[in-house]
Amino acid sequence: MWDYTDKAKEHFLNPRNVGEIENPDGLGDVGSVACGDALRLTFKVDAEKRVIDAKFKTFGCASAIASASALTEMIIGKTIAEVEQVTNSDIAEYLGGLPKEKMHCSVMGEEALRAALAYYRGEKVEDQEEEHGPLVCSCFGVTEDLIRKVVRDNNLKSVHEVTYYSKAGGGCETCHERIEEILMEEQGSSAEVSERDEPVVVSGAKMTVIEKIARIQETINNEIKPSLHKDGGDIQLIDIDGNRVIVALRGSCTSCPSAGITLRYAVEQKLKEFVSDELEVVEMK
């Protein structure tokens, strides 16, 4: 399992400020369920331009939940001027660090904050989209401007690192050449343009780690959850460690005497069928 800090685990297991503020002063929507991560951030500001409340809703992994929870705590009580200085590195540092493979979750938090601040300033969504530059990674909807920003802000040197921080290049890999060009433009000779992500072999076909994660989440959402929901149960993807898929049963499944059978036949077999026959499902108690 990823090496999470105690603070990151705490914010995942007991997230703060979950929900949505009605008639917010700031609202930011980033990511998409199709890409595996999505986040909505809302906040309220008082007459002195100080954030008095902030809430979030997210679809994503443990790191996405922890990062969003931390972000709300970080901005409540701060002035807009202070909030504007918050970066993804600050979010990760607040949590005591994040696994390098999960840094894109802190970046998503900063993206949501920037979008919410733009909303607060009255900027139109169309104007924001025009400023984001051309699309580089079509698999995960990552633009050139975002890649350049994470490269500069985090001193990234390789395609591998860009994928960790933005997901760009984590799918079909056809954008790797363009990412390398951006790295050279931003970092010059210090960029490690020869590095490549080693693809994961799944059921005889090659896929990247991020693509594998996306397929697992998609299978859980589309093939497993609907059948559990019929009996009042549910399941949550907690993490992925190699071929071990860590999940938590929810609802009526938690007290069901057949939970073990459900995990083996309704969950593990579906994941083996749709993703990889090498996967093993482990329940987090």
Asked if pLDDT for residue 57 goes beyond 50, the answer is yes
Q: What is the pLDDT of residue 233?
A: 85
Stated length of the chain: 285
Confidence of residue 202 (pLDDT cuts 50, 70, 90): very low
pTM over 0.85: no
The arithmetic mean of pLDDT across residues 199-210, rounded, is 55
Tokens read off for 45 = 């500001």
Q: What is the pLDDT of residue 200?
A: 47
Asked if pLDDT for residue 106 goes beyond 80, the answer is yes
Question: What's the CA gap between 213 and 282, in Å, rounded?
Answer: 15
CATH 3.40.50.720, applies to 205-283? no
The arithmetic mean of pLDDT across residues 48-64, rounded, is 92
Query: Other CB atoms closer than 10 Å to residue 284's CB: what's the count?
Result: 12
Q: What is the pLDDT of residue 204?
A: 46
Q: What is the pLDDT of residue 100?
A: 85
The residue to which tokens 């901005």 are assigned: 75
Question: What's the CA gap between 55 and 63, in Å, rounded?
Answer: 17
Asked if pLDDT for residue 188 goes beyond 50, the answer is yes
CATH number of 6-123: 3.90.1010.10
Question: What's the CA gap between 132 and 7, in Å, rounded?
Answer: 33
Asked if pLDDT for residue 77 goes beyond 90, the answer is yes
Residue 175 a catalytic site member: no
- According to CATH, the superfamily of the domain at 132-190 is BFD-like [2Fe-2S]-binding domain (1.10.10.1100)
Pairing state of beta strands 233-241 and 205-207? unpaired
Q: Among 28-42, 80-94, 194-208, 251-265, whose mean pLDDT is lowest?
A: 194-208
Domain-by-domain residue ranges, the chain? 6-123, 132-190, 205-283
Question: What's the CA gap between 166 and 141, in Å, rounded?
Answer: 10
Residue 105 a catalytic site member: yes
- 183 or 133, which is more confident? 183
pLDDT averaged over every residue in the chain: 85
Question: What's the CA gap between 43 and 27, in Å, rounded?
Answer: 7
Catalytic choice (105, 137, 175, 253): 105
Question: What's the CA gap between 241 and 279, in Å, rounded?
Answer: 10
Nearest to 279 by CA among 253, 246, 235, 237: 246
- pLDDT tens digit sequence for 108-134: 999 999 999 999 999 876 555 445 678
